[in-house]
Amino acid sequence: MRSRSFSTLASALDADLIGFIGLGNMGLPMASNLLTHGRRLLVFDMSDERLQEAQKRGAKAAQSVAHVAREARVVMTMLPATKHVKAVYLGETGLLANLGEKGSLIIDSSTIDPVSAEEVNKEATSAGYRMVDAPVSGGVPGAVDATLTFMVGGTDDNFKATQPLLAMMGKSVVHCGGPGKGAAFKVCNNLILAVSMLGVSEGFRLAESLGVDLNKFASVVNTSSGRCWSSDTYNPAPGVMDNVPASRDYVGGFAIDLMVKDLGLALSAAEVTKAPLPATKEAHRLYGQVAAKGHGSLDFGSVYKYGGT
C-alpha cells in the first residue's frame, strides 16, 4: 500500500480522478452525472454488465475495490446495505487498507444505520482519511435527473470539501451534523416515505373500489391535504402517472426488499433510543408480507397491488 504525504484537498473537485464503487439503480446514474460534468471516473461493481455500461458512458473500469483505492484520492460509494459497506471499507482488500494518500476524501451514500456510519467514519479518521456519510433522497428519478437531496454527516471542513461534487448529482446538499447524522436523517426520512406510501396506496385502492376516476382523484389529492411525494411524484396506482414504476408493473425503482431493510434500520435505532414507532412496526410487517410472497424485487409502490392480499 502506498502511504505518501500530499496536501489536503480543499475540494473534491481538486482531484483529477474520482473513484466510484457501486453501480446499481442509484449508483450508475449518479456516476453518469459526474461524467456529464466532465469528471474522470474509475468505477467498480460486482456486476460486469454494470461495469460495461459505465464504460460506454465514459468511465474507466477498475479490477477491484483495492484498485480504486490505490488510484483515486476521492472515492464515493453507493452500496445496498451495512454488510456491503463494511465489506468494502474494512479488511485487507478493503478501501481503508488500500487508499494511497493520507487526507483522501471518502463519501458514502449508502443507506445504513447511524451507529455503523459513525463506526466506519471513526475507522477512516483513525487511518488518516476524511469521510462523510451522504445518503440521498429522491429515488431513481432524482438520480437520473441530478435532483437528489444529499443528507451529509461529517465535520464542517469535510462537508465543505465534498459539497461541490455532490452538487453535480443533486439539487440540495444539506449538512445534517457530525458523523452519522446524515444516516440518521436518511433513516427517519425513509420511515416517513414508507408509511406515507402505504397511506397513498390504501387511499387510491379504496377510491378505485368506490368507482372513482383515479386521475381526477389524483388531481384533487395533489392540491389538497393528502398531497405528498408518493401521491404527486411517485404515485403507486397504475395509469395515474407516466414514467414511474406503477406504469411498468412496478419493475425498477426502489425495491420492497430495500424498504424492509430501511425500516429495520429505523426500528433498530429506535431500540437504542427507546423511541416508540408503532406505525413503523406495522409498515415493516406489511412490506415484509409483500416480500415474503415473492415480490421483494418490485418497487415499494407495489404495495398498492399486493399489500394486504
Q: Where are the alpha helices (DSSP H) in the chain?
A: 27-36, 48-56, 65-71, 82-89, 95-98, 114-126, 139-145, 156-166, 181-209, 214-221, 229-232, 256-273, 278-290, 303-306
CA distances from 237 to 5, 79, 132, 255, 270 (A): 56, 29, 37, 16, 31
Q: Residues with Cβ < 8 Å from 49, sequence gap 6 or more?
A: none
Active-site annotation holder among 60, 83, 186, 274? 186
| Distance of alpha carbon 301 from alpha carbon 306, whole angstroms | 9
How distant is the alpha carbon of residue 17 from its chain centre?
Answer: 22
Which cell goes with 54?
459505465
Please, what is the Cα angle at 247 between 246 and 252, to 5 degrees? 65
CA dihedral 191, 118, 101, 167 (to 10 degrees): 30
Burial of 172 per CB tally in 10 Å (0-12, 13-18, 19+): middle
How distant is the alpha carbon of residue 141 from its chain centre?
Answer: 12
Sign of CA pseudo-dihedral 144, 145, 146, 147: negative
Annotated active-site residue 186? The verdict is yes
Sign of CA pseudo-dihedral 295, 280, 207, 244: negative
Quick one: DSSP state of residue 147?
Answer: -
Whether 138 contacts 144, CB under 8 Å: no
Q: Which residues are designated catalytic?
A: 186
